[in-house]
Amino acid sequence: MARIAYVNGRYRPIDEAAVGVEERGFQFSDGVYEVVKFVKGAFSDLDRHMARLGRSLDGLRIAWPMTEKALRLVLAETVRRNGLRDALVYIQVSRGVAPRNHLFPKGAPSSLVVTVRRPKAPGADEIENGVAVCSQPDIRWGRCDIKSVSLLANVLARQAAQEQGAREAWLVDEHEGVVTEGSSSNAYIVDREGRLRTHPLGEAILGGVTRSVILEMARADGITVDERAFTLEEAKQAREAFLTSTSSFVTPVTRIDDHSIGNGHPGSVTRRLIELYNNHLVAC
Ligand code: PDD
């Protein structure tokens, strides 16, 4: 069955779906996005994704393309038309189509595109053995809390990681000397004292929906959470490391650059969080 995309009011086979050449998302990266998981017939953490979409739109002063309620109906209908019970739903909202000019256009409605694809949960090998990450300089702009479609620095970092045989890039803020996050995921360690550490919220990272769920579950489970940035050196010396995102769930990290983490296998805190997150997905 051909994949169906929603574009500005119409559901079309993906090969025929198109936006105008003067779409500002295309010309200026003037837009934001969300990636939402649909698991066994239901959206997971949709309220948190909608709240973040609202913050991203506010941050760039882009209008909602329709009411939030209508958007939720479009998401459900796009998934239904694709006939999937498990899906990753991509939502992109841009400042619309207008003759190219840096200034905000007057009266151009926001554009909305929704596409759907099959999710790919971490494989058994990744869960059992973990993945490798490699450090890359964080050269992104100063508002990484906005989920902007302007992802060039993330693309370059991720490509460099892949070329070095790593699954993800861990971005290092070279002024602060700390790991901010991954190119498309949040980064965590369990430090020598057994504390779960991750970069605090703020403009330097994207506040992941998975991050918020994981930190809540960790605290409720008695794990000490310390939202404090860590250096690359601390990461290499950590007992455990892992990453999270909507599309990669909780994925253990067992290698950072040339260093093996802990005993080279996913540790007990990581394994516990994988279990808790899987339970959360079944429950929501
Ligand atoms: N990426 N940090 C960055 C830079 C991200 O792009 C993402 C998500 C995350 C994790 O956020 P969440 O847990 O809400 O998915 C952190 C999405 C999945 C993507 O670009 O495909």
Q: Is the pLDDT of residue 216 over 90?
A: yes
Q: What is the mean pLDDT of the chain?
A: 97
Give residue-wise pLDDT tens across range 61-105: 999 999 999 999 999 999 999 999 999 999 999 999 999 999 999
The predicted-structure confidence for 247-276, as pLDDT tens digits, reads as follows 999 999 999 999 999 999 999 999 999 999
Paired sense of beta strands 42-43 and 31-39, if any: antiparallel
Which residue's CA is minimally distant from atom 4 of ligand 1?
Answer: 184
At 2 the pLDDT is 79
DSSP 48-79: HHHHHHHHHHHHHTPPPSS-HHHHHHHHHHHH
DSSP 150: -
Share of the chain above pLDDT 90, in %: 98
Does ligand 1 come within 6 angstroms of the Cβ of 148?
Answer: no
Of the chain, the percentage scoring pLDDT greater than 70 comes to 99
Structure tokens at 73: 């109906």
DSSP structure class, residue 146: S
Residue 236 catalytic? no
Q: What domains, with CATH codes, occur in the chain? A: 4-117 (3.30.470.10), 124-283 (3.20.10.10)
Which residue owns the Cα nearest ligand 1 atom 9? 185
At 170, give phi and psi (nearest 5°). -100, 120
- Tell me the best of 49, 245, 249, 273 to mutate to test the pocket of ligand 1, counting ligand atoms within 8 Å of each CB and taking the most: 245
Residue 222 has a pLDDT of 98
Spatial distance between the Cα atoms of 221 and 276, rounded to a whole number of angstroms: 9
How far apart are the C-alpha atoms of 266 and 89, rounded to whole Å?
29
Q: Is 123 exposed, middle or buried (0-12, 13-18, 19+ CB in 10 A)?
A: exposed
Pairing label, strands 196-198, 225-226: parallel
- pLDDT at position 283 is 77
The pLDDT value given to residue 148: 98
Are the C-beta atoms of residues 78 and 17 closer than 8 Å to each other?
Answer: no
Q: Is residue 186 within 8 Å of residue 245, measured between CB atoms?
A: yes
The pLDDT value recorded for residue 15 is 96
* Average confidence (pLDDT) over 204-215: 98
pTM of the model as a whole = 0.97
Catalytic residue among 69, 120, 147, 236: 147
Q: Average pLDDT in the 221-240 region?
A: 98
**pLDDT attached to residue 6:** 98
Average pLDDT, integer, range 7-18:
97
